[in-house]
Amino acid sequence: MACTTILVGKKASYDGSTMVARNDDGHFDTKKVIVVNPEDQPRKYKSVIGMLEIELPDNPIGYTSAPSVDKTHGIWPAMGINKANVAMTATETITSNARVLGADPLVFPKKKENEGEEDIPGGIGEEDLVTLVLPYIKTAREGVIRLGGLLEKYGTYEMNGIAFHDENEVWWLESIGGHHWIARRVKDDEYVIMPNQFGLDRFDIEDAFGDKKENMCSSDLLEFIEKNHLDFNNNGVFNPRNIFGSHTDSDHVYNTPRAWFMGRYFNPKTYKWDGDNADFTPESDDIPWSLVPERKITPEDIKYILSSYYQGTPYNPYQKANDPRKGIYRPIGISRTGIMAITQIRPYVKDEIKAIEWLSFGSNPFNSSLPLYTNVLKFPEYVSNVTLDVSTDNFFWVNRLIGVLADANYGACIQHIERYQLSVSAKGHEIINEYDKKFNESRDVLVLEEANNKLCEMAKKEAQNTLNKVLYQASLSMKCGYSRSDN
Pick from 147, 181, 150, 144: nearest CA to 165 = 144
Gap between the Cα atoms of 124 and 193, Å rounded:
25
Cα separation, 124 vs 377, whole angstroms: 28
CA distance 163 to 343: 11
- CA-nearest of 340, 332, 344 to 436 is 344
List the chain pLDDT tens, one digit each, 487 residues: 579 999 999 999 999 999 999 999 999 999 999 999 999 999 999 999 999 999 999 999 999 999 999 999 999 999 999 999 999 999 999 999 999 999 999 999 999 989 889 999 999 999 999 999 999 999 999 999 999 999 999 999 999 999 999 999 999 999 999 999 999 999 999 999 999 999 999 999 999 999 999 999 999 999 999 999 998 876 778 999 999 999 899 999 999 999 999 999 999 999 999 999 999 999 999 999 999 999 999 999 999 999 999 999 999 999 999 999 999 999 999 999 999 999 999 999 999 999 999 999 999 999 999 999 999 999 999 999 999 999 999 999 999 999 999 999 999 999 999 999 999 999 999 999 999 999 999 999 999 999 999 999 999 999 999 999 999 999 999 999 998 776 5
Q: Are 463 and 420 in contact (CB under 8 A)?
A: yes
Q: What is the pLDDT of residue 80?
A: 98
Whether the upstream peptide bond of residue 91 has omega within 30° of 0, thus cis, is yes
Ranges of beta strands (E only) in 44-200 are: 44-46, 53-55, 63-65, 79-81, 87-93, 160-165, 170-176, 180-185, 191-194
Closest to 69 in 3D by CA, of 336, 397, 369: 397
pLDDT for the residue 234: 66
Distance CA(99)–CA(58), nearest Å, equals: 40
Query: Which of 36, 23, 28 is CA-nearest to residue 75?
Result: 36
According to DSSP, residue 74 is labeled: -
Distance in angstroms (rounded) separating the CA atoms of residues 127 and 73 = 8
Does residue 340 contact residue 395 with C-beta atoms inside 8 Å?
Answer: no
127 alpha carbon, distance to own chain's centre: 14
Active-site pick, 3, 217, 413, 456 = 3
Query: H/E element holding 131?
Result: helix 129-133
Distance CA 174, CA 160 (A): 6
Q: Is 118 exposed, middle or buried (0-12, 13-18, 19+ CB in 10 A)?
A: exposed
pTM comes to 0.97
CA angle 71/73/75 to nearest 5° reads 55
CA distance 453 to 357: 14
Q: Among this protein's residues, is 3 annotated catalytic?
A: yes
- Residue 87 is predicted with a pLDDT of 98
Query: Domain ranges in the chain?
Result: 4-366, 390-487
User: What letter does residue 165 receive in the DSSP assignment?
Assistant: E
CB count within 10 Å of CB 235 equals 6
The reported pLDDT for the residue numbered 235 is 78
Comparing CA positions, the residue from 159, 110, 138 lying closest to residue 3 is: 159
Query: How many whole angstroms separate alpha carbon 23 and alpha carbon 394?
Result: 19
Cross-strand partners of 163: 89, 172
Residue 422 CA to residue 244 CA, distance in Å, equals 41
Contact assessment for residue 251 and residue 95, using Cβ atoms and an 8 Å cutoff: yes
Query: Where in 56-194 does DSSP place strands (E)?
Result: 63-65, 79-81, 87-93, 160-165, 170-176, 180-185, 191-194
How does DSSP classify residue 394?
Answer: S
DSSP letter, residue 138: S
Residue 302 burial (C-beta neighbours within 10 Å; 0-12, 13-18, 19+): buried
